[in-house]
């Protein structure tokens, strides 16, 4: 559901081992119906054929619903497809903090997930998978794992995707948010691939973003997988940044297409939680405001 570049690529791989239906935008659904879904890059090259439409077939039932919509659309998608998500395992493969809590209002069976992989549109129904900074992680939200999670991990692996179980998915969600908050808005504002952000001036901004985020996570009752902000920054610099150096941020792609970004669930979520806990987060707030201003410039709307 909400299958854009991420969702359609995951659906394509899953279609090799199970029955898949993708809910996507009209132009992508039409392209896939007429010529198939074209994927290139590090997940392999090929054309995939699977059913795709703007809505669900009547009387359809599923073992899992995988939600890949933009975070700002989570509630709208859950509301639109409330009958399909109720009493169904709903899996969030989305960016940011807060999606799982929204989904939990519609079903008691929520699986959180993280995917740190670069997906870039090449045309309607065509995506290039550019980079990958780690395995897909899936876990029962807010914590733990069970047979439904284990079965889904095995399905992902059978489809050729690198997937792992997580016993504390909130930690992983914060880990991905650290990565996204550090790189996504700055890459979008400057219009550069992630590798360029290793420049000392950009890195100084990233350091402050991460230190603020760590303080907020701790106040929110989450201890990230890294003991200190500097430990994570070393991992970001030495592992994640080189692995995704050529990737252009999803936020930049959204701005180039004149669409709203996910800033509210990334740096914006850090700002909101920081204010709630009385923790100053001026750098995250500034990045959030800059992206909001860019959205305003592109939309052409007054005020």
For 189, the enclosing helix (H) or strand (E) is: helix 169-190
Catalytic residues: 176
DSSP code for 240: I
How far apart are the C-alpha atoms of 42 and 21, rounded to whole Å? 23
Q: How far apart are CA 54 and CA 59, in angstroms?
A: 15
Q: How far is CA 224 from the centre of its chain?
A: 18
Give the number of C-alpha atoms closer than 13 A to the C-alpha of residue 69, restricted to the C-beta side: 24
Strands 110-114, 136-140: pairing kind: antiparallel
As a whole number of angstroms, the distance between CA 25 and CA 31 comes to 10
């Amino acid at each position: 559901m909400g299958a854009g570049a991420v969702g359609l690529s995951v659906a394509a791989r899953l279609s090799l081992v199970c029955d898949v239906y993708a809910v996507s935008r009209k132009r992508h659904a039409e392209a896939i119906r007429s010529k198939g879904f074209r994927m290139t890059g590090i997940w392999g090259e090929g054309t995939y054929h699977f059913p795709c439409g703007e809505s669900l077939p009547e009387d359809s039932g599923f073992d899992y619903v995988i939600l890949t919509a933009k975070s700002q659309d989570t509630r709208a998608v859950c509301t639109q497809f409330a009958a399909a998500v109720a009493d169904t395992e709903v899996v969030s493969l989305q960016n940011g903090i807060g999606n799982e809590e929204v989904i939990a209002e519609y079903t008691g069976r929520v699986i959180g997930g993280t995917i740190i992989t670069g997906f870039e549109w090449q045309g309607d129904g065509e995506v290039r998978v550019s980079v990958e900074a780690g395995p897909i992680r899936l876990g029962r939200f807010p914590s733990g794992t069970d047979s439904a999670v284990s079965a889904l991990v095995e399905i992902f692996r059978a489809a050729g995707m690198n997937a792992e179980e997580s016993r504390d998915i909130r930690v992983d969600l914060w880990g991905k948010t650290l990565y996204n908050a550090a790189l996504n808005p700055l890459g979008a504002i400057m219009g550069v691939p992630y590798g360029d952000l290793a420049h000392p001036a950009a890195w100084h901004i990233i350091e402050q973003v991460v230190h603020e985020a760590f303080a907020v996570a701790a106040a929110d009752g989450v201890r990230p997988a890294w003991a200190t902000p500097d430990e994570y920054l070393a991992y970001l610099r030495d592992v994640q940044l080189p692995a995704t150096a050529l990737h252009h941020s999803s936020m930049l792609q959204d701005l180039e297409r004149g669409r709203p970004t996910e800033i509210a669930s990334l740096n914006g979520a850090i700002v909101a939680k920081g204010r709630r806990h009385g923790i100053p987060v001026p750098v995250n707030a500034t990045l959030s405001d800059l992206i909001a201003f860019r959205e305003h410039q592109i939309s052409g709307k007054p005020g």
